[in-house]
A and B are shown apart, each in its own frame.
Chain A
Amino acid sequence: MEHTAGLAHGEHDTSHELSFWEKYIFSQDHKVIGIQYGITALLFLLFGFTLMIIMRWQLAYPGQPIPLIGQWLGDANAPGGIMLPEFYNQLGAMHGTIMVFLGVVPLAVGAFGNYLVPLQIGAPDMAFPKLNMMSYWSYFLGGVTMLSSFFVPGGAANSGWTSYAPLATIATTGQTFWLCGMIFLITSSLLGSVNFIVTIVQLRAKGLTFMRLPFFVWAQLVTSFLLLLAFPPLEAAGVLQLMDRLAGTSFFLPSGLVISGQPLHVSGGGSPILWQHLFWFLAHPEVYVLILPAMGIVAEIIANNTRKPLWGYKSMVYATIFLGFMSFIVWAHHMFMTGMGTVISAFFQTTTMIISIPSVIILTALLLSLYGGSIRFTVPMLFATAFLPMFGIGGLTGLPLGLAPSDIHLHDTYYVIGHFHYVVAPGTLFALFAGIYYWFPKVTGRQMNNALGRIHFFGSFIFINGIFMPMFIEGLAGVSRRLYDGGQQYAHAQGVLHWNVFMSISAFCLFFFQLFFIINFFWSMKKGKKVNSDNPWDATTLEWDTPTPPPHGNFIKPLEVFRGPYEYSVPGKSRDFVPQSEQEKV
């Protein structure tokens, strides 16, 4: 029944010739929207990375003129090419915001989710194509709002990606833009998440039971629930902070504030800590929004490149669901230093330790999946295997931060930055690169260049560790994060400051190696080796049953699913893979 509903919809959409605008700009086709998301998100990732490159120059060589681009940054930001602290704070806030909300999530969910989920469940499109289009354009508007804030007086938001009140409340106009941008972005995510949930529940092909879903689809399903349930509190909080800034309310402002020697005339009575609770109630699940799709991608690629089923598929699925639930009750571990009592801190420390268990289960299952495989080190597989230990470092370094007493020393130091970047950058971003190399042939009909891909991989692998590993050293020495001069003022930082230069040079090198990806991406689109089949990786899941690239409506033959997602190297079969849609010969 689900299947026929999907087909009816597909027929309706293909019944007339689409204009250029309908086909490429205001498209309702999940694949076009997925590509739109992908291109936009990759551009934002590059932009967010560039902001960090500028910051890393300042951290390594404080007070020295920024080469090449320094002169273009404007006198309000960098007179004579030398960065001002105000501008450093803008770059910091916008780097975080852009990477998380405009880069990684749109790429992981908007691009990969949109493009692949309908294909992997055998659906002709998403359940609500118009909603899907709105979701992209709302994201686009959010991005434009964020970017335009660099040009308002006082520049972009400068209170960190966390926008803690009252600092954010008294900040320059850029913060208003930030809040409006966030409202667009949250709306986009909400529209998208509803769509994913309905699509996955309702539009699965005949025979595709929940336990036959590819792990990637499970990851997207749980991610969608996280977005749906965690984002509304932040949207509300964003509106409240907007009111505090514009309408004179005091939701997050206590009485008795004195700013620059002048009493602040507000009604008062609010709580700055309330903002933190609302913010982290989203922002912790957001971590899993970043990581789950990445794990999904890695799982697909590992199964395909080891030529064997995932080890413990069911335990991975249950662990993911459990992880989703738990992610809603760990948020206050970001707030141990706000003066938390024993009971509350005990609760959040316990939940934090509990949530490490499903993460360990998923990581262990992926590691064990390698055992007994026949591993092909393709470019996607290189990225996917490198994901495992680096995500492991990200997860493990969360332990001392999750225990309140050890967090005393590490809170708000570089250790924290190292920890979450290992989760998000060498972790999630590596998985996303793996995904791009893996599904590129399906989207374009051409393979990405292997040699360029390998250069990109090894360069990135070396230098991304060069950036983030020393952060643990600086953090353990007690160096605070978000310092404009990288800690030059402080005696306790002196012994480790030389790492700042090392990290910055690693960052510049990492940037250089991304050029190989950019060149490869565009060159392969036009000139890459054409794939000789619709299923170039000999994969089992349904997206490889479509023509290449998939047409509007996706599947040209009726579809039925007969088995689980990873039937590789089944004993007694002539080929080492059995697609989900292949009918057993009786």
Chain B
Amino acid sequence: MRQFLGLPIDASAQGPSIDNLLVMVHWLMFVLFIGWLSYFIFTLIRFRKSRNPKADYHGVKGHYSSYVEVGVALTEVVLLVGFAFPLWAARVNKIPDEKDATVVRMVAEQFAWNVHYPGPDGIFGRTDINLVSSDNPLGLDRTDPYAKDDITTINQLNLPVDKPIIIELSSKDVIHSLNLPLFRVKQDAIPGQMVKVWFQPTMTTTQIRVTLSRTFSLANGIPEELATLTSLEDYRAKDSTVIVGKGGSFTDDLLPQLRQAGITDVKAAPDTPTEIACAQLCGLGHYRMRGFVTVQTPEEYAGWMKDQESQLQQQPQQ
């Protein structure tokens, strides 16, 4: 059923339980619908005028329909008490300890996602709406001692794998909605309010790309779909120069070289499968309010953070 529903892959610890509920509800829906539909089609054929010229005043006798209704009600109770309530409680109440988690602030605006890391001190610096400018979309007050080491990015959220992530979410202007479809996270970003949302990624972006990767044959040129994807490995010519590097695209002009190197099949995947989508209409740029999540191994993440810190130190302090 899960496959039939075509859900995207699960890349977070809470994803499977949400999918599980989706699958169960859809089973209930299918059983009811198929049951009703078969009965419905049967009556339409059996009781058409030519087959049944005289209607029966009394119609159905017996209580089967009441049993069905009671059955539906009981199933709904089970879904609520057994699954929906505890799942939701876990989402909103069991926020992990900040000491064990990576805490990130995200502030949405028309039409971008501002990401704010507290830096090595673990404390977010002060922000002030009067300091907001195009260089400083968060209005971060760099004179504040806690703000000196804060890292900010736009539309790029780097996270370590297998560690709880707490996002402190809000918005500068209108209501947006943080949607991370592969992690089964969705939370409105509401101006004037800060809402915490948490999850735990279980796959790195690279692992996700490997899972999503498919092999394409080059026999009939570059397939249309392949042109939208990027490579998972280096494809080299016989003299070992790289024709298409890891993360590179397959374009028609590279085809002769690939063929010359004797490469007939290539593996490719979406370049940025872990993405941030905006799920709430936020204005004319709503459709392009796309950001990127990069889930990394702890080492990669630490390295990325180091880079950001050294970049920050090279910048003149405001």
Judged by a CB distance under 8 angstroms, whether A518 is at the interface is no
Contact B173 A259 (CB under 8 A): yes
Judged by a CB distance under 8 angstroms, whether A491 is at the interface is yes
Query: Interface on B for A, CB 8 Å cutoff?
Result: 5-8, 17-19, 21-22, 25-26, 28-29, 32-33, 36-37, 39-40, 43-44, 47-49, 52-60, 65, 68-69, 72-73, 76-77, 79-80, 83-85, 87-89, 91-93, 109-110, 129-130, 132-134, 137, 139, 172-175, 177, 179, 181-182, 184-188, 190-193, 195, 228, 270-273, 275, 277-288, 290
Chain A residue, CB-CB nearest to B185: A408
Partner of A405, one of B18, B60, B284: B18
A156-183 vs B, Cβ < 8 Å mask (1 yes, 0 no): 0011100010110010000000000000
**A570 touching B40 in the complex, CB below 8 Å, given contacts A85-B287, A263-B132:** no
Contact A272 B190 (CB under 8 A): yes
> What is the bound-complex CA distance between A477 and B6, given in angstroms?
6
Chain A residue, CB-CB nearest to B187: A337
Q: How far apart are A482's CB and chain B's nearest CB, in angstroms?
A: 4
Contact A372 B58 (CB under 8 A): yes
Contact A411 B88 (CB under 8 A): no
> What is the bound-complex CA distance between A372 and B42, given in angstroms?
11
Chain A residue, CB-CB nearest to B7: A476
Instruction: Note all chain A residues with C-beta closer than 8 A to B18.
Output: 405-406, 408-409
Sample 14 A-B pairs with CB under 8 A, ordered by A number. A166-B175, A170-B173, A170-B174, A307-B55, A367-B39, A371-B60, A373-B59, A375-B49, A403-B21, A408-B18, A409-B7, A412-B279, A478-B7, A487-B287
Contact A260 B190 (CB under 8 A): no
Contact A260 B110 (CB under 8 A): yes
Contact A492 B191 (CB under 8 A): no
Contact A349 B57 (CB under 8 A): no
Interface residues of A in 415-458 (CB under 8 A from B): none
Contact A263 B43 (CB under 8 A): no
Interface residues of A in 260-276 (CB under 8 A from B): 260-261, 263, 268, 271-273
Partner of B54, one of A164, A368, A374, A408: A374
Contact B7 A309 (CB under 8 A): no
Contact B284 A396 (CB under 8 A): no
Interface residues of A in 315-372 (CB under 8 A from B): 337-342, 345-346, 349-350, 353, 356-357, 360-361, 364-365, 367-372
Interface residues of A in 389-415 (CB under 8 A from B): 389, 392-393, 396-397, 399-400, 403-406, 408-413
Judged by a CB distance under 8 angstroms, whether A20 is at the interface is no
> What is the bound-complex CA distance between A388 and B179, given in angstroms?
35
Q: How far apart are A474's CB and chain B's nearest CB, in angstroms?
A: 9
Partner of A167, one of B85, B195, B283: B283
Partner of A399, one of B29, B277, B288, B290: B29
> What is the bound-complex CA distance between A342 and B94, given in angstroms?
11
Q: How far apart are A469's CB and chain B's nearest CB, in angstroms?
A: 13
Contact A255 B192 (CB under 8 A): yes
Q: How far apart are B275's CB and chain A's nearest CB, in angstroms?
A: 6
> What is the bound-complex CA distance between A473 and B4, given in angstroms?
10
Judged by a CB distance under 8 angstroms, whether A571 is at the interface is yes
Chain A residue, CB-CB nearest to B273: A491
Judged by a CB distance under 8 angstroms, whether A257 is at the interface is yes
Contact A342 B47 (CB under 8 A): no
Instruction: Note all chain B residues with C-beta closer than 8 A to A312.
Output: 65
Instruction: Note all chain B residues with C-beta closer than 8 A to A377.
Output: 48-49
Instruction: Note all chain A residues with C-beta closer than 8 A to B72.
Output: 356-357, 360
Give 16 A-B pairs besides A164-B175, A167-B175 with Cβ atoms closer than 8 angstroms.
A166-B175, A167-B282, A258-B129, A259-B172, A268-B192, A312-B65, A337-B177, A367-B40, A375-B48, A396-B33, A399-B29, A400-B26, A406-B21, A409-B19, A478-B179, A480-B179
Contact A367 B36 (CB under 8 A): yes
Contact B54 A371 (CB under 8 A): no
Instruction: Note all chain B residues with C-beta closer than 8 A to A170.
Output: 173-174
Contact A491 B270 (CB under 8 A): yes
Contact B44 A385 (CB under 8 A): yes
Contact B55 A373 (CB under 8 A): yes
Chain B residue, CB-CB nearest to A376: B49
Partner of A482, one of B22, B29, B139, B281: B281
Instruction: Note all chain B residues with C-beta closer than 8 A to A400.
Output: 21-22, 25-26, 29
Chain B residue, CB-CB nearest to A485: B287
Contact B57 A309 (CB under 8 A): yes
Judged by a CB distance under 8 angstroms, whether A248 is at the interface is no
Q: How far apart are B169's CB and chain A's nearest CB, in angstroms?
A: 8
**A405 touching B17 in the complex, CB below 8 Å, given contacts A271-B192, A494-B270:** yes
A541-581 vs B, Cβ < 8 Å mask (1 yes, 0 no): 00000000000000000000000000011110000100000
7 closest A-B pairs (Cβ-Cβ)?
A254-B192, A372-B56, A478-B181, A339-B195, A405-B87, A167-B174, A307-B55
**A337 touching B186 in the complex, CB below 8 Å, given contacts A392-B36, A485-B287:** yes
Q: How far apart are A90's CB and chain B's nearest CB, in angstroms?
A: 10
Contact A306 B47 (CB under 8 A): yes
Q: How far apart are A159's CB and chain B's nearest CB, in angstroms?
A: 7
Partner of A404, one of B22, B88, B283: B88
Instruction: Note all chain A residues with C-beta closer than 8 A to B83.
Output: 403, 405
Contact B181 A340 (CB under 8 A): no
Q: How far apart are A491's CB and chain B's nearest CB, in angstroms?
A: 4
Contact B88 A337 (CB under 8 A): no
Contact B277 A480 (CB under 8 A): yes
Contact B281 A257 (CB under 8 A): no
Judged by a CB distance under 8 angstroms, whether A194 is at the interface is no
